[in-house]
């Protein structure tokens, strides 16, 4: 397989895993970080078993890291001016 095809397959796997994680977290069926982390952790393993290529698995892991870092940076940017203060009653 070509590098571009592998990278796009890996991107599809990473986006699908992130979408599943967000959907499970928003559904309220399971609480905590488990519904977010589990699909992201399992995606490279499933991609390796599906494609039989370690390159695709490493690319899925790389895309997952990029997506998680982007989400963290976005959250930090959104709350950049927000001062965490206790509400005084």
Say if 61 falls within a structural domain. yes
Measured between alpha carbons, how far is residue 68 from residues 19, 37, 47, 49, 75 in Å?
Answer: 12, 10, 18, 23, 11
Say if 83 falls within a structural domain. no
pTM: 0.81
Say if 34 falls within a structural domain. yes
Number of domains in the chain: 1
pLDDT in tens, 1-48: 599 999 999 999 999 999 999 898 888 888 788 878 899 999 999 999
**Structural domain that includes position 69:** 3-78
Say if 36 falls within a structural domain. yes
pLDDT higher than threshold 60 for residue 70? yes
Residue with tokens 């290529």: 53
Spatial separation of the C-alpha atoms in residues 79 and 62, rounded to whole Å: 26
Say if 58 falls within a structural domain. yes
CA angle 49, 13, 43 (to 5 degrees): 55
Say if 65 falls within a structural domain. yes
């Amino acid at each position: 397989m070509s590098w571009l095809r592998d990278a796009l397959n890996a991107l599809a796997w990473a986006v699908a895993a992130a979408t599943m994680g967000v959907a499970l977290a928003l559904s309220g069926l399971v609480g905590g970080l488990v519904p977010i982390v589990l699909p992201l952790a399992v995606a490279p393993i499933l991609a390796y078993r599906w494609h039989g290529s370690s390159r695709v698995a490493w690319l899925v892991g790389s895309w997952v890291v990029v997506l998680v870092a982007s989400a963290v940076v976005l959250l930090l940017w959104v709350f950049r001016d927000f001062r965490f203060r206790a509400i005084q009653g």
